[in-house]
Structure 1
Amino acid sequence: MIEILSSTELTQATRTGALVGTILQTLKSRTTVGTNLLDIDQWTKAMIADAGAQSCYADYEASFGRGPFGHYICTAVNDAVLHGKPSNHTLADGDLLTLDLAVLQGGVAADAAISFIVGDTQPAESLALIAATERALTAGIAAAQPGAHIGDISHAIGTVLTAAGYPINTDFGGHGIGSTMHQDPHVANTGRPGRGYKLRPGLLLALEPWVMQDTADLITDPDGWTLRSATGARTAHTEHTIAITPEGPQILTLPHA
């Protein structure tokens, strides 16, 4: 299913997106050495409830996971990159943490992710991973013009990640979003320009470049959800929900000013 949102729905999408962006930045500011992943999950639950919104994850079941997910945010540490299920794990100095959050408010969902280093130790290779996903996301957003194609976005993202020297996994990538969290079209993190669905105003896309340092292969934790690099290498993941408008792409998941 591919949804094209009305102007009223797009107005709500900006509200939902700002909520997601604000929660993520609040969590980042509260996360320190010694923070437990289950505390992050509970902080998220409380902020979603305070906003009168709903978690897209708590009851989420998918073919690639052992559902329901049962938590309110994905917390991926170091070699974990996607669908990180919160556990009784305490963060250490220098850990690379990815927070991935999707929320439904007023009938419209938004989805975003940030990766950052916890504490004072800032490993250069980890910072490079994060920076590459951020640059790739910027490139993908710039390519998301009305009349362009999904392949143009994928090509822009993949060009940046490949130039940075990282292998690209195409099993998971970006996606359409609207009244539900995961919709068509799929947006791979590499692809051929001029191919795929033609972008129309009113379309929402969650673009999410992610990489693993030295592999494109994933393994799944015993929890049935958390995906890690097959080699144990570090990973990073950056995501925004955007709206295609007649004037160009609009980022929805920026925090409140």
Structure 2
Amino acid sequence: MVHGGGWIAGDKADGDSELGTDNPYFASGAGPVLDAGFNLVSVNYAFAPEYRFPTQTIQLGEALQFLETNADRYGLDMSRVVLAGSSAGGQIVGSYANVRTNPDYARALGIEPTMDRSALKALVFDSAVLDVGRAGSPQSPSPSNGFLYDIGARSYLDTTDADWLARANVTENATSDFPPSFIADGNTGTFPDQAAELSAKLDRMGVANRLNLYSKNEGTLEHAFMTTGSQWTDEYNRLRIEFLRGIVG
């Protein structure tokens, strides 16, 4: 699991700091995963602006390499790996998945993949910022959220550089070898449009995926809604586990 926080904040123990409150992630997010029989490892990464893209992508690869080396010590099956990321963490996860599955992308970033492709079974995107260039433009406009996301994006990379924006765009660089993905988001002050775009591209390429979105008629769901308890979080967890069991076993 890779936490959110706009690439400039957050911690592996507290989920997505963009929510502005202590986040009971391990009760609402990790608990159902553990109850379903999965192991869970949450990792940190260096913050922007001191460390900019793709440093965090490289660090995720290093973390996976460490876990593979120490799999017996921690009781992990590193032949069946699911990468999950919330908000900014979703972009980091998606970038690493592209490094692992798109050789041209890996060469463009100058990054060597650090795990066997067959071991990367699936991805989970929770309110992921898949297009950094649009981080400041969440759907159902939220000026305060957009302002904060834009600060994070401009800290993470040069948002005036079209080449780097393209390299950081998860959807743009996804190929037909992209891992099966569970893609979820809310509908207020967040990025359901980006989630839908990734799902549509994966559909066109024949990549298994499940899109978990809700209309405003069903309820108002904020950015990273799945980190707080609600009927929608319960349904999200049910669908997420169902998808992962179908892919990973």
Is this a same-fold pair by TM over 0.5? no
Higher relative contact order (CA 8 A, sep 6+): 1
When the two structures are superposed, what TM-score results if normalisation uses the length of structure 1? 0.30
Higher helix share: 2
Higher normalized strand content (fraction of residues): 1
Provide TM-score, normalisation by structure 2.
Answer: 0.31
